[in-house]
Amino acid sequence: MFPSTMMEEELNLWDFLERAAALFGKKEVVSRLHTGEVHRITYAEVYRRARRLMGGLRALGVGEGDRVATLGFNHFRHLEAYFAVPGMGAVLHTANPRLSPKEIAYILNHAEDKVLLFDPNLLPLVEAIRPELKTVQHFVVMDEQAPEGYLAYEEVLGEEQDPVRVPERAACGMAYTTGTTGLPKGVVYSHRALVLHSLAASLFDGTALSERDVVLPVVPMFHVNAWCLPYAATLVGAKQVLPGPRLDPASLVELFDGEGVTFTAGVPTVWLALADHLEATGHRLRTLKRLMVGGSAAPRSLIARFEAMGVEVRQGYGLTETSPVVVQNFVKSYLEDLPEEEKLTLKAKTGLPIPLVRLRVADEEGRPVPQDGKTLGEIQLKGPWITGGYYRNEEASGRA
């Protein structure tokens, strides 16, 4: 091998927040909390508070490689944990509060989480599963106050700590998939994987995010890193609007227009309800330019309804195992002159593999099938943010 002269710099998610604080420190992160209150904070403040969260977690005994779980919706404290936990060399496990209590207890035990951060409105859920949790030592309510027997997030914040520069292939996050048979299966993400994923998914033919955008992820932060949008938005220095648990059309419209949202992403059911609301009221969103659909295929009619309102709709495809985005839809430049109906048909398709992802369709013997638009097969994926197996599950890893 002929050596290069390039620096050997390890990729790390913390660098996203450090850059945002230094270059876009006055940009806001706006949150609608579970109470309905709208909270505002800047990237500079998020950076300082994330450093304090690292100090507080370290005082609770969290070290490199320890797992810290969250049960929470989209808000500024969850965003601070998104950076503080991997920033200190620990592993952020975003657990889905919409799973059954039995499933949640299973995945927290399987991940061997040491600390659980959770939203105050999820206290009844945590109280129900707490007796079943074998490894969680500290229960932290993501709020200013906490009931007896729990810690309050604001009281946990300690002295500011410097980040830990772990190797880029070290674990930074975890999520469990319920999209397979049997018990939920754990996927462990690395700093390298999520940094590269955030960069690739943000390219112009993907989300096309920039510092000028205002990003509102409807997709929950407990669902596959919120499709990495909190990381990608921080990477480019975009203002973020985090909607909390209230995702009804009227609440979303208030945030879209009030905060000047230009980009959003979520599942089709949310957008169908929003389209119905907009058509029923005659309201038109003032600033929204792009809408990303994932989780399931967007109906052709849904794309047409939003584009009639001046909102570009793009689809994405992925899995928990793929961090998640591996495919995004856009119309190639040489097809722009097609009739609108034909372009709409193209937009209703899943899309094309994003850079650095290799995708093929194979038969039962693992051989690529003809690319004729007719032959069926199994999708096979390979890339730097695609898992090679499941956490502590050799049998499932072997099958995959």
Q: Is residue 372 part of a domain?
A: no
Assess if residue 360 is contained within a domain.
Answer: no
Q: Do 125 and 251 share a domain, yes or no?
A: no
- Residue 319: predicted pLDDT: 96
For residue 324, whether the previous peptide bond is cis, meaning omega lies within 30 degrees of 0, is yes
User: Of 148, 172, 190, which residue is a domain's last?
Assistant: 190
Q: Is the pLDDT of residue 179 over 80?
A: no
Structural domain that includes position 239? 198-354
* Type of residue numbered 80: E
Check whether residue 180 and residue 223 sit in a common domain: no
Rounded mean pLDDT of 69-85?
99
CATH code of the domain containing 216: 3.40.50.12780
Does residue 376 sit within a domain? no
Q: Are residues 107 and 251 part of one domain?
A: no
Residue 399 within a domain: no
CA-nearest of 266, 262, 337, 275 to 303 is 275
Which residue, of 166, 190, 214, is where some domain finishes? 190
* pTM attached to this predicted model: 0.97
Select from 168, 190, 212 the last residue of a domain: 190
Band the pLDDT of 399: cuts 50, 70, 90. confident
Q: In what side-by-side order are the strands of the sheet with 263-266?
A: 38-42, 28-32, 239-242, 214-217, 263-266, 290-293, 312-318, 325-328, 352-353
- Are both 211 and 331 inside the same structural domain? yes
Do 154 and 225 lie in one domain? The reply is no
The number of domains in the chain is 2
Q: How far apart are CA 390 and CA 185, in angstroms?
A: 6
Asked if residue 280 and residue 214 are part of one domain, the reply reads yes
Residue 180 pLDDT greater than 80, yes or no:
no
Backbone angles phi, psi at 143, to 5 degrees: -160, 180
Verify that 142 and 219 share a domain, yes or no.
no
Strands 239-242, 214-217: parallel, antiparallel or unpaired by DSSP?
parallel
Question: 108-162 pLDDT, tens per residue?
Answer: 999 999 999 999 999 999 999 999 999 999 999 999 999 999 999 999 999 999 9
**150: Cα within 13 Å, side-chain hemisphere:** 23
Q: Are 274 and 249 a contacting pair, CB within 8 Å?
A: yes
- Give the mean model confidence (pLDDT) for residues 252-263: 99
Same domain, 49 and 143: yes
- 380 domain residue, yes or no: no
Give the span between the Cα atoms of 31 and 17, in whole angstroms.
Answer: 17
Where does the pLDDT of residue 394 fall: very low under 50, low under 70, confident under 90, or very high at 90 and above? confident
54 belongs to a structural domain: yes
- Domain assignment of residue 99, yes or no: yes
Q: How confident is the model at residue 25 (pLDDT cuts 50, 70, 90)?
A: very high
What does the pLDDT read at residue 182? 83
- Position 77 confidence tier, pLDDT thresholds 50, 70, 90: very high
Task: Answer whether residue 246 is part of any domain.
Answer: yes
Residue 176 token pair? 């469990």
**Same domain? 223 vs 178:** no
Pairing of strands 91-94, 138-141: unpaired
**pLDDT level of residue 228 (50, 70, 90 thresholds):** very high
What pLDDT, in 10s, does the model give residues 87-107? 999 999 999 999 999 999 999
Tell me: do 58 and 90 sit in the same domain: yes
* Same domain for 218 and 337: yes
**Mean pLDDT rounded to a whole number for the chain:** 97
State the Cα–Cα distance between residues 205 and 3, nearest whole angstrom.
33
Q: What is the 3-state secondary structure (H, E, C) of the chain?
A: CCCCCCCCCCCCCHHHHHHHHHHCCCCEEEEECCCCCEEEEEHHHHHHHHHHHHHHHHHCCCCCCCEEEEECCCCHHHHHHHHHHHHCCCEEEECCCCCCHHHHHHHHHHHCEEEEEECHHHHHHHHHHHHHCCCCCEEEECCCCCCCCCEEHHHHCCCCCCCCCCCCCCEEEEEEECCCCCCCEEEEEEHHHHHHHHHHHCCCCCCCCCCCCEEEECCCCCCHHHHHHHHHHHHHCCEEEECCCCCCHHHHHHHHHHHCCCEEEECHHHHHHHHHHHHHHCCCCCCCCEEEECCCCCCHHHHHHHHHCCCEEEEEEECHHHCCEEEECCCCHHHCCCCHHHHHHHHCCCCEECCCCEEEEECCCCCECCCCCCCCCEEEEECCCCCCCCECCHHHHHHC
50 and 94 assigned to the same domain:
yes
